[in-house]
Structure formats: structure tokens, C-alpha cells
Structure 1
Amino acid sequence: MQRSIVIKGHTSTYPDPIILEKGQAVLYGKEDTEFPNWIFCKSIITNKEGWVPKQILTTPDAHDIAVVTKDYSAHELTVNQDDILFGLEQLNDWTYCKTENDEYGWVPSFCLTAL
């Protein structure tokens, strides 16, 4: 785990994130232009929508259906400057972190610096 400090606060814009299990089918949508390799998907089971990393999706079929290759949550953390986080995974300019209160979620990597 990489211990980091928040150098720029971030507010989550998705209060009801998409949560997917390995093997779940999604409707494969558009790619984010600000953060490449994030695909806007819709769960076939729950109809929830959200950003999913392209790296955990199979190539979409002729009907734009892809399959998730590992469990995933799009939960974003709301963080303030000087918060301490533990980075668990970096992907496509975002970092999946754990807070000191054991909350897990994504934060844009530019908001963090290593301690």
C-alpha cells in the first residue's frame, strides 16, 4: 500500500455507484474523453450506470455487451486536502484507495502525492 496525502480535495459526483461482480454482463457505452480507458457501462441486471475500466471488460459483442472480468465498484471517495489515504491500485489516472476509517473508493491520481 502506498501511503499518500490529498493535495487537492475531491467530491464524489456519483452517490449511487455501479457495482459489478465478475462474470456480470454490461452494455458497453462511450469512452471518457477526459480519462481514456474508462467506459460508461450499464449493468444488464441492475440497470445502474457508471464508469468501468476498459481493462476489466471483455471486447463487446455485436450487441455492445461486454463481460466484467473481476469484481468492481465505481465508488468514489470524497476527500479533503491533507487527508491521508492508502493507495491500493492505480488505473487510468485514478487511484483506488482506503481511508484511515476503512472506506474504499476511487480518487483522481492528480489529487494525491506519495508520503
Structure 2
Amino acid sequence: MMKTVKVIEDYQACYPDPVTFSEGDRLMLGKSDDEFPGWIWVTATCGKEGWAPLPLIRRLSQNQGTAIEDYTARELSVSVGEDLKILREINAWAWVENRQKHMGWVPVSKFVEG
């Protein structure tokens, strides 16, 4: 059963043109995220850049990796009081769906169960 949560703090999506990649894509790996451990800055073959969770990447060298599954860095802007369904959680972020069926990443700190 999917967990439903309630937003306790507004969150505004930061990246209007998110990086996306597909399983098997080669990725250039950059800096690690100091605020959210387990996330790394990636550059996809199309040139788009953004944060991606390390568990979805097989590191080939210090600055190269391969995607082990499809991914989009699309974030979801949310407001206090909204109900969300958690579809997946990785490294302090959750892939969620709102009542309008929009999906995206939101920091786990922005909601509580219930």
C-alpha cells in the first residue's frame, strides 16, 4: 500500500529544465551534494545537468558512470496542507504524486505521515 503524507512546509521546484536519462546512458559525474548525501551532479549525453541519486548510477571511474535505470530530476512544487502519495524514497527525497496526478521529487523534510 502506498504511503500518504501531508505537506508541512512549502517547497518550490528549483530546476525548470531537469536532467533526465535512460538506463544504459553514459553520465559525466561531478560534485557530491553536501546538503543531501548520496546525490551527485551529473551531465547527461544531451548536455543537461542536474542532481541524481547515486544508487541509480554504476560508477565507472571518478567522473564517469552508467545509468542503471531511467530517471528524471523533475521536482514538484508543493504547498502546506497538500496530500501526496509517496511512490519512492531515495536519500532524503521522495518521488511523489499529488491529487492532480502530477509527479516529482520533494525533500522528505517537507511532509509528515498522515
TM-score surpassing 0.5?
Answer: yes
**Structure 1 runs not aligned, ≥5 long:** none
Q: CA shift at 1:97, angstroms?
A: 0.2
| Distance in 1 separating the partners of 2:83 and 2:32 | 31
| Distance in 2 separating the partners of 1:93 and 1:61 | 25
- Find the counterpart in structure 1 of residue 67 from structure 2: 68
Q: CA shift at 1:59, angstroms?
A: 1.4
Runs of 4+ in 1 over 4 A off after TM superposition: none
More strand by share: 2
Pairing 1:1-115 to 2, within 5 Å after superposition: 1-44=2-45, 46-61=46-61, 64-115=63-114
Q: CA shift at 1:101, angstroms?
A: 0.8
**Structure 2 runs not aligned, ≥5 long:** none
1:21 maps to amino acid: S
Percent identity over paired residues: 31
RMSD: 0.9
Question: TM-score by structure 2 length?
Answer: 0.96
| Distance in 1 separating the partners of 2:56 and 2:105 | 15
Q: CA shift at 1:69, angstroms?
A: 0.3
1:111 maps to amino acid: K
Report SS of the residue matched to 2:31: strand
